[in-house]
A and B are shown apart, each in its own frame.
Chain A
Amino acid sequence: MDRKLVKQRSDYKWLLERSGKMRVDGIIYASEALIAEMDNKVAEQIRNVASLPGIVAASFAMPDAHWGYGFCIGGVGAFDPGQDGIISAGGVGFDIACGVRTLHTGLKIQDIGHRKADIADKLFRRIPAGVGSTGKLKLTPQKLDEVLTGGAAWAVEQGFGVPRDLRFIESGGRMRGADPAYVSKEAKKRQEEEMGTLGSGNHYLEVQQVVEIYDEPVAKAFGIELGDIKISIHCGSRGLGHQIGTDYLKQMTLAAKSAGLELPERELACAPLDSQVGKSYLAAMRSGINCALANRQILTHLVREAMAEILPKADIQLLYDVSHNTCQEEQHSIDGKKKKVFVHRKGATRAFGPGSPDLPEEYRTTGQPVLIGGTMGTASYILVGGPQSESLSLGSSCHGAGRQMSRTAATKQWHGKDVARKLEQQGILIRSASLRGLAEEAPGAYKDVSEVVEVSHAAGLATKVAKLVPLICVKG
């Protein structure tokens, strides 16, 4: 990014001063190195979001920000319904409620050493992954409507888990205000056979080992010890969420035109929160969130079944489940007043600090677990929302590494077989439905997640608790 576009306010805070049509400032949290790597388009997208009606506080970008659709990936923007605030399909993205769920296993590294290949094979057979994969569950339209209002709570009622699981999922595993009547029949049709599937691209299921603890008391509260085996799942709302995004992007674009709403870029399609399109999208998007939560819950059930067959002593419990593509109604302090606002997080993770009533009792004194996914060959991190995150970024942090190389360039540089072999030499077993997919997802195609995490930590958005490295990775 051209340094002339931003003013440095502190080591990790950069300002895009309000100008032109901007209603608020833009704020980027990044190091000098990360700012240098960012595209100028990120600044343009931050400014565009800052110009949308009803935006409050600032238009934020997290340390992993990169060029996205309308909002930058890593963008956060909150809108006040009392000030003609908007809701944006582009501000959520096509993979509604894509997120990370991390599971305890009750196992240590020595428990799985000799069974690693068996575990990898079993998980790969059990978890549907890749293009065109289907789940075992076939849902009727009526059952699907129950999923869309019930979320992970529905899945638990069907036997895919236990009630305790729900405590450790955002919104208690069920997003209120969902209404399947606003989800198209096409979106529902796409989901008929896709419940309990991982997807493809950067989605994964990883068996990980905790290799470093940075904050002992918080790690203890989260149930993390050195040498622990954890399992992390990264996926979203599958075909249903993608279709909701597609449907409402078009509706919002056409409605904006007829309402005279000037959009700086078409992907920023949005609608007033109190308009019919805005309300419809909110109800549909919340249905998409429930679909994602149910999907990750069913995948957890499949993990439990698979692990029980190989290592019966495994005790799979949720550490936490957090989405990084959402819009949620939250209370924040805006200009000294508590206000209900709609916070868009596009490729950004909620990072509520200690005391938040939205957190389960177990985490209320520590703050929220913030789950940051890495790539097949690098580390993932667990952070905790800090007391300052609310005032710094409306309680938000980074979400992952972000690509540094296009898919086309990656396939020119690497072959899938070589990627898998190299990772195996490092002790990481890869199971994937697609060799080309592996090449496109090669670790070298991504930025270094550690730098993004260090900056989030240093800026106070969320602080480091533990580092996990992959042992097994199942890819679509």
Chain B
Amino acid sequence: MAFVDRLGEILSEGGQGGIILTSIDALADWSRGKSLWAMPMGTACCAMELIAASFAKFDFDRHGSFPRPDPRHTDVMVVAGTITRKMAPAVKRLYEQMPEPKWVIAMGNCAVSGGIFFYDSYSVIRGVDEFLPVDVYIAGCPPRPESLQDAVLRLRELISTESIAPGVKHERTLSLPRSGDVSFGVRPGSAEEGDAE
């Protein structure tokens, strides 16, 4: 314990500057949503928008989201396109290969509900939520790349409410704070919020 107490002093003496001490779960909760590597499960025309989102014009990488076609390296599966009854076991198997924690974005009408194939189709799954736990739904046929980026930002908000500590759930709203909002920059449970109540 004595060493930990003197850690800052020791590092300062070494010319390395100060250090920040925090609990591991708070650091993990803060950092977890910042680098969502995406598994591009593109099966139809939505995959074109998925590809466009990660190229220079829309630049997915600035949100920390990076397409990585390997389920073992990814955090979020973007199901972009029509899933047929024959394809569904393969999608489920890829999802099971992703390490925890993992999330799913259903991109486009086909992944949300079956889309234009909802009626009179013998082969199309009516929404990937029949066999995957979907976190964010994006409507559109196909959605714009901006919609996908907005979905990733929403997913980051969702992830920021979760904690790796058991039984702990951060109370944060799911809407993105804007600079004009009265609550912008106010942390939940802080003094200002307590005064307002």
Q: A and B bound? A: no
Residues of B within 8 A of A (CB): none
